[in-house]
């Protein structure tokens, strides 16, 4: 039995809460994962997990072993980091998570160049606009946009997201007839706003008066956007804005090409939205991984 592999398997079973989740991660079978944990228990002479048909739970002995095993595996990863950084030799799977739009438009070119620089690395790219638990899903590193909640995650700031109100010129000519482009944030209440429901602020859109605004510079105004479409998908936001369905409040990178060639109009330019930080985050026991650190450096540099 490979003791280290068995320990890693046991740790992931506890973190994810199931044998099947670990089997999917490792491209193995549930039976094989279960046998690895059972072999570890036989080797240790102690039951680590209490199994029922519907759930798994740590035994008292398992809880103590889990804490020590996770710390030991993290220390081994740190030792490997020091060695591998010197040899510049990276290999194996790296699980990366990001939102769908950011992953497709901004992260994929960096994934391509990273893999070209490290041909022995394989990336499992998970794109999801909803919140995911990095530990439960076995993610090594994720892109998070917005202010980070207090947590034990290891974070590295890699950039800033600027947001803008955008729409197609056709929208202002067709919905509804005669409605003028908004001049102040409150005018948006008369318009069809496309709401992204994954924001923690939901439909609360905040703007800050700039030098040319009608209010003193720095004044913040928040409105409750409303319209006939809301979605949890950044790709749907993009498609609906580009089809002229309404006004979107989105990161400028989501419409970078269309803004550059004039296909979209930026509304309320004198009322910019507060910018948001972009971070790479990792679980603490994976933040020292050589692959994670190399990926973070690669993305940060670009």
pLDDT at 296 over 70: yes
Q: In angstroms, rounded to a whole number, what is the distance separating the alpha carbons of residues 141 and 127?
A: 12
Q: What's the pLDDT tens digit per position in 62-81?
A: 888 888 888 788 777 766 66
Its pTM stands at 0.71
Q: By CB neighbour count within 10 A (0-12 exposed, 13-18 middle, 19+ buried), where does 61 fall?
A: middle
CATH number corresponding to 163-274: 3.40.190.290
Position 87 scores a pLDDT of 47
Q: In angstroms, rounded to a whole number, what is the distance separating the alpha carbons of residues 171 and 115?
A: 42
Q: What are phi and psi of 227, to 5 degrees?
A: -175, -170
Q: In the structure encoding, which two tokens stand for residue 260, read together?
A: 């550059």
Q: In the structure encoding, which two tokens stand for residue 205, read together?
A: 């859109």
**Sequential DSSP letters for 206-267:** EEE--TTSSS-TT-EEEEE---SEEES-HHHHHHHHHTTS-EEEEEGGGGHHHHHTTSEEEE
Please name the CATH architecture into which domain 88-160+277-301 falls: 3-Layer(aba) Sandwich (3.40)
pLDDT at 285 over 80: no
Q: In angstroms, rounded to a whole number, what is the distance separating the alpha carbons of residues 294 and 300?
A: 10
Task: Please give the CATH topology (third level) of the domain spanning 3-85.
Answer: Arc Repressor Mutant, subunit A (1.10.10)
Q: What's the pLDDT tens digit per position in 234-282?
A: 999 999 999 999 999 999 999 999 999 999 999 999 999 999 999 999 9
Domain spans, the chain? 3-85, 88-160+277-301, 163-274
* Cα distances (angstroms) measured from residue 78 to each of 11, 96, 141, 166, 288: 17, 19, 16, 46, 6
Q: In angstroms, rounded to a whole number, what is the distance separating the alpha carbons of residues 193 and 249?
A: 8
Position 8 scores a pLDDT of 86
Average pLDDT, the chain: 88
The mean pLDDT of 108-135, rounded to a whole number, is 92
CA 68-74-77 angle, to 5 degrees, is: 145
């Amino acid at each position: 039995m490979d003791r280290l592999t068995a320990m890693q398997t046991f740790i992931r079973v506890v973190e994810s809460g199931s044998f099947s989740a670990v089997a999917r991660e490792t491209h193995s079978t549930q039976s094989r994962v279960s046998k690895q944990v059972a072999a570890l228990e036989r080797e240790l002479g102690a039951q680590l997990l209490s199994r029922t048909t519907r759930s798994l739970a740590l035994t008292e002995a398992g809880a103590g072993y889990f804490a020590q095993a996770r710390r030991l595996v993290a220390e081994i990863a740190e030792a490997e980091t020091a060695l591998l950084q010197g040899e510049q030799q990276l290999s194996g799977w790296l699980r990366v998570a990001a939102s769908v739009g950011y992953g497709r438009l901004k992260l994929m070119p960096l994934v391509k160049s990273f893999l070209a620089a490290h041909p022995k690395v394989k990336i499992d790219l998970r794109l999801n606009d909803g919140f995911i638990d990095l530990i439960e899903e076995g993610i090594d590193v994720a892109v998070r946009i917005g202010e980070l909640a207090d947590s034990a995650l290891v974070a590295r700031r890699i950039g800033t997201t600027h947001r803008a109100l955008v729409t197609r010129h056709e929208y202002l000519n067709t919905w509804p007839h005669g409605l003028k482009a908004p001049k102040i944030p409150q005018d948006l209440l008369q318009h069809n706003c496309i709401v992204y429901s994954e924001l923690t602020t939901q439909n609360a859109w905040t703007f800050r008066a700039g030098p040319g605004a009608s209010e003193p510079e720095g004044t913040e105004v928040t409105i409750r956007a409303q319209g006939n479409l809301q979605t949890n998908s950044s790709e749907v936001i993009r498609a609906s804005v580009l089809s002229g369905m309404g006004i979107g409040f989105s990161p400028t990178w989501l419409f970078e090409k269309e803004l550059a060639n004039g296909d979209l109009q930026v509304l309320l330019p004198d009322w910019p939205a507060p910018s948001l930080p972009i971070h790479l985050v990792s679980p603490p026991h994976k933040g020292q991984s050589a692959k994670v650190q190399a990926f973070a450096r690669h993305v940060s540099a670009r």
